[in-house]
């Protein structure tokens, strides 16, 4: 009976951490982690030491001090007697507003121009190409200032809307006035507000309470719940289609789920439209959208849309021409081929690069300071720092805000991207 000799197992020794491939990667990771922690520790200790040498300490108590400055565009109640923290919140909301509006407008314009770039009509194709190259070749800051100057010089003054010799008129059934100062648009007020305390009496004599954050939070919550139920309904329809081969008709239920709950909330809150109207030498009531916000929004949207257009064009070109030919052979019209066949497949290629463009738009909104729009950079990262001398704390908080905003945008788009990916069965 034979036997196979076995070599004795060698005990572990320190050299294996470097020369043994089983441990080398972990060793490098541990050393890198220790180095990074040590570098941050040294940097923090150095900062604290320098602050102590200057007689400063690191604290956030300045956020509770009175701000003492006004903010021209605000989504929530604010006056100069409120704290720096409240002013920072107003600036953050202004940044979120222009970023949200900019992402929506840039996506719509970018998709439209990207499709036009592939048009067989030479004139349309060249015009779209000129737009893309013009906006991509000129710095964003110049576009912001240029559009701001156009709005200031080309639009009428409020006095031009007055009297029988008026040279300007309101738009959309006399509900919107676009002037050199900004746009005056209707707003929603509630006769049964659960949070407002400011009673307004618009021109039609119907008294209403100014809408408050609690009212809009309730409406937003109902809308989110409605959208969640619609998503569940769509998933149920997809499961039925996989099981039976026929997809049930659910669009009437989707419309009801979106419209009815929100409509009921608006009805019980007593929602009413307060339109702006000319009083004296200016417009009153409604909502005033400053030209700084309009200029920033337009510039960010048009600039980012030029990059999105190229992404859309590349995504469409990545889809095989056989897909288009097969759809046309089935009798689909060209517009339906693009909407139902080409774009859904191209989205898997389009979505990942969109993340960087959305992030750039959100961060480029900090250029709002050039036209006087009071965003997070102008409030927390500007006036507050100048008044309190807390430049380290202010910039740190501002950086954390932009970091969280970037994570939220990336997370939302990545979630949508995962839902669009092809899944093996």
3-state helix, strand, coil in the chain (%, to 5): 65, 10, 25
Span 41-70, pLDDT tens digits: 998 888 778 877 877 777 788 889 998 888
Question: Percentage of residues in the chain with pLDDT exceeding 90?
Answer: 27
The pLDDT of residue 5? 55
User: Domain locations in the chain?
Assistant: 60-154+290-425
Burial (0-12, 13-18, 19+ Cβ within 10 Å), 157: middle
**pTM for the whole structure:** 0.81
d(CA 143, CA 141): 5
> Which parts of 37-167 are beta strand (E)?
none
- Could you please state the CATH topology (level 3) that the domain comprising 60-154+290-425 is classified under: MetI-like fold (1.10.3720)
Handedness of CA 200, 190, 223, 246 (dihedral sign): negative
191: closest CA among 215, 174, 217?
A: 215
d(CA 113, CA 312): 9
Pick the range with the lowest mean pLDDT from 165-169, 292-296, 420-424: 420-424
Burial (0-12, 13-18, 19+ Cβ within 10 Å), 370: middle
d(CA 182, CA 179): 5
Span 348-399, pLDDT tens digits: 888 888 888 999 999 999 998 889 899 999 998 889 999 888 888 888 899 9
Calculate helix-pair angle for 343-364, 291-317, nearest 10 degrees.
Answer: 150
> Which parts of 79-230 are beta strand (E)?
177-178, 182-185, 187-190, 199-200, 208-209
Cβ contacts of 97 within 8 Å, gap of 6 or more:
75, 293
Rounded (5°) CA angle 404-411-423: 170
Instruction: Reply yes or no on whether the pLDDT at 76 is more than 90.
Output: no
Which residues are 182's β-sheet partners? 290
| Residue 324 or residue 267, greater confidence | 267
128: closest CA among 261, 312, 319?
A: 312
106: closest CA among 308, 303, 305?
A: 305
C-beta of residue 315 within 8 angstroms of C-beta of residue 347: yes
Rounded (5°) CA angle 60-62-67: 140
Span 78-117, pLDDT tens digits: 888 889 999 999 999 999 999 999 999 999 999 999 989 9
d(CA 25, CA 215): 55
Burial (0-12, 13-18, 19+ Cβ within 10 Å), 204: exposed
């Amino acid at each position: 009976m034979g036997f196979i000799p076995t070599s004795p197992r060698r005990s572990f020794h320190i050299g294996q951490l470097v020369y043994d491939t089983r441990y080398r990667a972990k060793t490098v990771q541990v050393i890198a982690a220790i180095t990074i922690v040590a570098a941050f520790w040294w940097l923090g200790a150095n900062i604290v030491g320098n602050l102590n040498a200057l007689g400063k300490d690191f604290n956030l108590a300045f956020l509770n001090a009175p701000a003492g400055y006004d903010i021209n565009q605000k989504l929530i109640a604010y006056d100069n007697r409120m704290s720096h923290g409240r002013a920072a919140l107003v600036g953050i909301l202004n940044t979120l507003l222009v970023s949200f509006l900019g992402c929506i407008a840039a996506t719509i314009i970018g998709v439209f121009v990207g499709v036009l770039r592939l048009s067989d009509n030479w004139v349309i194709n060249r015009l779209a190409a000129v737009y893309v190259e013009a906006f991509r070749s000129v710095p964003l800051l110049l576009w912001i200032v240029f559009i701001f100057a156009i709005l200031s010089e080309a639009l009428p003054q409020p006095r031009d809307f007055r009297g029988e010799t008026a040279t300007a008129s309101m738009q959309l059934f006399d509900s919107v006035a676009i002037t050199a100062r900004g746009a005056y648009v209707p707003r929603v007020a509630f006769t049964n507000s659960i949070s407002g305390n400011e009673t307004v009496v618009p021109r039609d004599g119907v008294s209403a309470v100014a809408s408050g954050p609690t009212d809009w939070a309730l409406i937003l919550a109902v809308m989110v719940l409605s959208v969640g139920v619609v998503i569940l309904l769509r998933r149920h329809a997809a499961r039925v289609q996989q099981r039976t081969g026929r997809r049930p008709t659910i669009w009437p239920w989707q419309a009801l789920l979106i419209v009815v709950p929100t409509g009921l909330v608006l009805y019980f809150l007593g929602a009413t439209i307060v339109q702006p109207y000319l009083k004296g030498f200016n417009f009153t009531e409604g909502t005033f959208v400053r030209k700084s916000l309009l200029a920033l929004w337009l510039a960010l949207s048009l600039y980012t849309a030029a990059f999105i257009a190229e992404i859309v064009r590349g995504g469409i070109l990545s889809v095989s021409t056989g897909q288009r030919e097969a759809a046309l052979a089935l009798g689909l019209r060209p517009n339906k081929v693009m909407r139902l066949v080409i774009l859904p497949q191209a989205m898997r290629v389009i979505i990942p690069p969109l993340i960087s463009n959305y992030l750039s738009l959100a961060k480029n909104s900090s250029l709002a300071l050039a036209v006087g729009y009071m965003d997070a950079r102008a409030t927390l990262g500007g006036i507050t720092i100048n008044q309190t001398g807390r430049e380290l704390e202010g910039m740190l908080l501002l950086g954390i805000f932009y970091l969280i905003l970037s994570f939220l945008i990336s997370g939302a788009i990545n979630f949508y991207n995962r839902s669009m990916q092809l899944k093996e069965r």
